[in-house]
Structures are given as C-alpha cells and as structure tokens.
Amino acid sequence: MKENIAEFRNVVIDYELRKYSLRAVNGFSMPVKRGKITALVGESGSGKTTIASSLLASISEPGRVIAGEIIFFDEDKEINVTKLDEKEINAFRWEKVSMVFQGAQSALNPVIKIFDQFYETLQVHNNYKPHHERINLTKEVALQKVTKLLEFVNLDVDRVLKAYPHELSGGMKQRVMIAFSLLCDPQVIILDEPTTALDVITQDFIFSILKRINEEMGIAMLLLTHDIAIVSKYADYIGVMYGGSLMEYGEVEAVFEARNHPYTLGLINSTPSIHGAIDNLKPIPGVPPDILNLPKGCPFAPRCDKCMDICKEKHPDNYDVKGTLVKCFLYQDQSLKGNKA
C-alpha cells in the first residue's frame, strides 16, 4: 500500500468575490501520510482551513480549486477529489475523509437529542450507498455503533445519548464531534483547531483521545493549529504555511531541530510553551501578509531578516534539506548539488 493516503499537488484555490479574486492557496504540494498525524501550522489567514477543506471537497463558498490536483489513495484506486461529481462527493465525504470543523461544537443541532443526530447521519449515509451495500439500519444497530464510539471518546454513553447539546460542557461537545467524525469509518480526519476555546487540561485530555484514535484505529489526521507545543507533542509531520504557500514540510523532530526556514525559526522563537523564560520570546517583526497584495517574490520576504535581492524578485522552489522540504533561496545551493526537490 502507498505510504501516502492523500497528496496535494500544486493546488491553487481562489475565493472569487464580486469585484476581485482572492488567492488563498498558491501552489500547495504536500503528502498526507497514511496512519500518521500531520500538523499544518501558520498564522491566521495563511490558508490552513481552505487547503484542508479542499481534501473533503468542502471549501466554503465562493472558493474554487482553480489548478492542481488533490488525490486520495483508496485501497484499490486513486480518487481525484477535484473531479468528483455531487453523487460521488456524497459517498466520499465522511466515509473516506471527515472533518471536525473550526468551532464545531456549534454545529450540533440545539433541538435534537445527541443520539437522534447520530442516527439521522447514519441513515443519510446508508442511503448514499448502492442498494447492495446498504444495511438494515435499525435503531439497535445504530445504538451499538454509537455506543462504541462514545465509549472510545470517554463519554458517559447513557447520559450523552439522551442529552440535548446545551446540557453538555464544551469539552464533552467536542468529544461528541470527534465521535461524529468517526461515524462512517473514515481513513483521514481533518481536525481544525480542535481544542481552541477549551481549558488546558481539557485540551490535553482531548489530544490524548485523538492520539489513541490515531494509534488504535490507524486513522490518519490532518491537524490545523496555531499551537506549536501541541504539534511537538502529538504530530509526526508538520507543514508550515505562510500567505497561502507551504514554506516548509518534514518530520516534526527534524523541522523543529533544524529550523531551516526563517519563518519556521520565527514561529518557534515566538512560542512561549517551548522556551521557558518569557523574556526570550521574540515576536516576528512586521505584520502578517495582505494576501490581496502579496509581494512579487517570497511572501515572507518583507519580514525576513535573511532576505536577499533574489527573494524580492522570484518565488523560491522547494529545496530538499536533509529530507525536509524548504521553500527558501538560502538553500538553493544545496539544490545545485543535485538535491532539488
């Protein structure tokens, strides 16, 4: 089986607004490794949610993939996600790839009890299947499946199933959403800021559950977060985004240790949880990029203390630095030695 469960290949995504087009993702290429946790980090607006939701064919309106390919490697075939029609999308979404959306707790329907929300979703997806694959989905069958999932996320099944969403705490609702994302046995789950707005202890508890889901069920995860400390604790691979581009990608340990890209270095130096003393914190000077007015060359050039003339003129390629891909001209000499990615 292929090592990658999915691949983004040179993906460009625009939000086509009435007066202009906004390029939220600009030539993004990255693998998602089967059974591993891949984190995608970057400042607000760098394009994390946009690129991740394209893997689910769920970019919010008016977003469109205007170039590139998103490939999902199913057991026996390649699925080109951008080419799916509506019927195929219904069968793909949640069954191959699911997503816990940013602020997902509010996605629960406030007037329907939790069990009924699960049951309805199971029914809808059973009906998407071809006739010969449909099961006789009684309430008992659904209850068995849902019970297993709620137990897996450490919830008190009897209480939660009968509850309305407002009767549950934020951490409980988030665990319900995680159980929801598992409902159709996906191979990849996208987690968009799964613990923002939760306290640190609840946050840690939820991540330990996610890690268990990853390890015991073998489900790959794409974790979108601002939190470098969470990445170093739980993720296997990391992609660093800036202004719609992937600036660096590799194994977490290698990326954190080498800190090749000046933006990666800045991001780590400005993170309090990695450095002990608050005095050592060095925020990245300047402001996040205006994606309507990106510079001609590297998007990070205006804030980069290692900026060279070429950086202002041209977009860097990806250079392979000991197995880590770095989009930065500082490393182009290594590519001339035959190391270009």
Ligand X SMILES: Nc1ncnc2c1ncn2[C@@H]1O[C@H](COP(=O)(O)OP(=O)(O)OP(=O)(O)O)[C@@H](O)[C@H]1O
Q: Which residues bind Mg ion (CB under 5 A)?
A: 48-49
- Chain position carrying tokens 């009684």: 138
Which residue type is seen at 203? Answer: Q
Nearer to ligand X among residue 28 and residue 73 (C-beta): 28
Site residues for ligand X per CB under 6 A:
15, 22, 24, 42, 44-50, 60, 63, 102, 291
CA 41 to chain centre: 9
What does 24 bind: Mg ion, ligand X, none (CB cut-off 5 to 8 Å by kind)? ligand X
What does 15 bind: ligand X, Mg ion, none (CB cut-off 5 to 8 Å by kind)? ligand X
Nearer to Mg ion among residue 103 and residue 170 (C-beta): 103
What does 35 bind: ligand X, Mg ion, none (CB cut-off 5 to 8 Å by kind)? none
- Chain position carrying tokens 């998602």: 32
* Cβ contact 7:38 at 8 Å: no
Nearer to ligand X among residue 47 and residue 250 (C-beta): 47
Q: How far is the CB of 241 from ligand X (least distance, A)?
A: 7
What does 299 bind: Mg ion, ligand X, none (CB cut-off 5 to 8 Å by kind)? none
What does 105 bind: ligand X, Mg ion, none (CB cut-off 5 to 8 Å by kind)? none
Q: β-pairing, 237-242 with 37-41?
A: parallel
Nearer to ligand X among residue 181 and residue 225 (C-beta): 225
What does 47 bind: ligand X, Mg ion, none (CB cut-off 5 to 8 Å by kind)? ligand X
Q: Give the span between the Cα atoms of 339 and 171, in whole angstroms.
A: 46
Q: How far is the CB of 340 from ligand X (least distance, A)?
A: 28
Q: How far is the CB of 219 from Mg ion (least distance, A)?
A: 21
Kindly give, in sequence order, each residue whose CB lies less than 8 Å from that of residue 243, ignoring residues fewer than 6 positions away. Answer: 26, 46, 47, 288, 289, 291, 294, 299, 300
Q: How far is the CB of 49 from Mg ion (least distance, A)?
A: 3
Nearer to Mg ion among residue 49 and residue 187 (C-beta): 49
Nearer to ligand X among residue 15 and residue 128 (C-beta): 15
Name the residue among 75, 81, 108 with its Cα closest to residue 179.
108
Name the residue among 24, 32, 25 with its Cα closest to residue 8.
32
Q: Which 8-state DSSP code applies to residue 340?
A: B
- In the numeric block, which tokens belong to residue 306? 């290692």
Q: How far is the CB of 292 from ligand X (least distance, A)?
A: 8
Q: How far is the CB of 44 from Mg ion (least distance, A)?
A: 7
Kindly give, in sequence order, each residue whose CB lies less than 8 Å from that of residue 87, ignoring residues fewer than 6 positions away. Answer: 128
Nearer to ligand X among residue 46 and residue 260 (C-beta): 46
What does 302 bind: ligand X, Mg ion, none (CB cut-off 5 to 8 Å by kind)? none
Q: How far is the CB of 16 from ligand X (least distance, A)?
A: 9
DSSP string across 105-161: GGGS-TTS-HHHHHHHHHHHHHHHS-GGG-----HHHHHHHHHHHHHHTT--HHHHH
